[in-house]
């Protein structure tokens, strides 16, 4: 058993990493880039085959940080710089909970939950941060034909510490985009060293930039695989995760550290950075399994048995409740929290997840619902921008027998509508009792 009653927590979130990219999920060498470090991490811990997220970057990150579905918090999609976005200050973040419980907290990477004073990571529970406040494609701005900095602010890498204004460090251009993940890992390792020297538990949140477009590798990895920029970037991502793992080992805290690696949503779909969701159909920005299901690996020696693989259903909001409980914090009781505590499942005390289903919104539309082995689509969009709109009669799929969601079986299984529509009814009642925050809501 770990010696710390409260373990260190390392949470690495890859950006737009599809279910089928890593070797341990059937990709790796088949995608032109072996991923030996992440594959070993999976062998050392728990690999989830049914870990579910939101449709794209902002809603997933808000769900992780707040434990609430994005329709509740107004964090529905990415918006251009200078427009209201992100979590309002009335939301309570995972970092705030863990900080109040005595954890040192750091964010190194992509935030995407607010780009004005009061909403940066160092305003929302993190002792320090370094990274980008919005999204990675902004690194293309300064290289774009006709870019006019008089109407769009220059994208910048920023940093900040709690209690002080965040500041711009340098322009986030294509050169900076190639080098940023190396910087994030270097700062992460320095942070961990400082906390170990201070004998303080820490929460390291490391939302990497890879594999978001433009998917460009560090110069040291350019040409490494022989299969192009995307594969080179995946090889670099595997190496960066390995660097963090090596530092945890070097510091002698491996047995005292819950180490999680996951993705924020399904794969890239833009050429030439096209990703894959393996056996699942669709990409992010849809309600298909290729959007919802992403890699999730957790290692915690002495608590999580090595070599476990599970197809039990887990949702990204569960990380909020689970990590708060592991850190000795209590989740808020003055608002609905959609995440459930999955400690017993993660640690193998029960083979079953603590949840059976969830609702899936894109923006403010209920697109689908998952329950046990079933998926009910209220809208149909098998590929991005190829939707048919709201369905007069929903489509129902059994995901075990029909992983690509190709054969509607509702007419033979109308009984499944009962438990799913009860989930919808109960969620709607909760939203009436606790009104949702409108998108773009200012802080009060």
Active-site choice (8, 69, 107, 112): 112
Please give the C-alpha separations between residue 67 and each of 153, 385, 393, 433, in angstroms, as whole numbers: 32, 29, 31, 18
Instruction: Tell me whether residue 285 is one of the annotated catalytic residues.
Output: no
Active-site choice (57, 75, 189, 262): 57
| Cβ proximity of 323 and 299 under 8 Å | no
Half-sphere exposure of 444 (CA within 13 A, CB side): 5
Q: How far apart are CA 201 and CA 418, in angstroms?
A: 45
Put residue 278 in one of left, alpha, beta given phi > 0 → left and psi -120 to 50 → alpha. left
| Cβ proximity of 322 and 279 under 8 Å | no
Tokens read off for 352: 């079953």
Instruction: Tell me whether residue 57 is one of the annotated catalytic residues.
Output: yes
Degrees to nearest 5, angle at CA 287 with 134 and 124: 30
Q: How far apart are CA 358 and CA 432, in angstroms?
A: 18
The 3 state secondary structure assigned to 140-157 is: HHHHCCCCCCCCCCCCEE
DSSP state letters, 201-231: -EEEEEE--TTSSS----TTTTTSSSS-HHH
Straight-line distance from the first to the last Cα atom of the chain, in angstroms, rounded to the nearest whole number? 45
Please give the C-alpha separations between residue 98 and each of 92, 297, 434, in angstroms, as whole numbers: 11, 21, 25
| C-beta atoms surrounding 311 within 10 Å | 11
Backbone angles phi, psi at 9, to 5 degrees: -125, 120
Q: Where are the beta strands (DSSP E) in 32-91?
A: 46-52
DSSP state letters, 271-323: TTS----TTS---TTSSSHHHHEEEEEEE-TTTS-TTEEE---EETHHHHHHH
Inter-axis angle of helices 229-250 and 36-43, nearest 10: 50
> Which run of H or E residues covers position 362?
strand 357-362
Q: Catalytic site residues?
A: 57, 112
């Amino acid at each position: 058993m770990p010696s710390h009653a409260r373990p260190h927590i390392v949470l690495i979130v890859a950006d737009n990493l599809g279910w089928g990219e890593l070797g341990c999920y059937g990709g790796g060498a088949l995608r032109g880039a072996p991923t030996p470090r992440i594959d070993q991490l999976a062998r050392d811990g728990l690999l989830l085959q049914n870990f579910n997220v939101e449709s794209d970057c902002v809603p997933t990150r808000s769900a992780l940080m707040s434990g609430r579905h994005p329709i509740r918090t107004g964090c529905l999609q990415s918006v251009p710089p200078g427009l209201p976005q992100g979590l309002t200050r009335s939301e309570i973040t995972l970092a705030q909970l863990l900080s109040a419980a005595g954890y040192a907290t750091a964010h190194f990477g992509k935030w995407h939950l607010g780009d004005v004073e009061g909403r940066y990571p160092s305003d929302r529970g993190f002792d320090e941060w370094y990274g980008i406040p919005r999204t990675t494609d902004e690194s293309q701005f300064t290289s774009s034909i006709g870019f006019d900095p008089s109407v769009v602010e220059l994208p910048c890498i920023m940093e900040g510490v709690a209690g002080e204004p965040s500041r711009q460090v340098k322009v986030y251009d294509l050169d900076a985009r190639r080098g940023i993940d190396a910087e994030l890992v270097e700062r992460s390792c320095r942070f961990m060293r400082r906390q170990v020297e201070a004998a303080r538990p820490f929460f390291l949140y490391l939302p990497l930039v890879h594999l978001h477009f433009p998917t460009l590798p560090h110069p040291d990895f350019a040409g490494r695989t022989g299969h192009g920029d995307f594969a080179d970037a995946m090889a670099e991502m595997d190496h960066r995760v390995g660097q963090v793992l090596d530092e945890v080992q070097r510091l002698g805290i491996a047995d005292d550290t819950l180490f999680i690696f996951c993705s924020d949503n399904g794969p890239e779909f833009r050429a030439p950075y096209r990703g894959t969701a393996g056996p699942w159909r669709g990409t992010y920005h849809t309600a298909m399994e290729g959007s919802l299901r992403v890699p999730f690996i957790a290692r915690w020696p002495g608590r999580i048995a090595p070599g476990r693989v599970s197809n039990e259903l887990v949702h990204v909001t569960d990380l909020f409740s689970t990590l708060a409980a592991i850190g000795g914090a209590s989740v808020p009781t003055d608002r609905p929290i959609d995440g459930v505590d999955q400690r017993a499942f993660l640690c193998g005390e029960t083979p079953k997840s603590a949840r059976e289903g969830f609702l899936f919104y894109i923006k403010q539309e209920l697109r689908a619902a998952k329950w046990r082995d079933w998926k009910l689509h209220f809208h149909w969009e098998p590929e991005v921008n190829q939707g048919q709109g709201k369905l007069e009669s929903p489509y129902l799929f059994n995901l075990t027998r029909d992983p690509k969601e190709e054969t509607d079986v509702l007419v033979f299984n109308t009984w499944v509508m009962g438990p799913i529509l009860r989930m919808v009814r109960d969620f709607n009642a909760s939203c009436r009792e606790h009104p949702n925050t409108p998108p773009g809501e200012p802080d009060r």
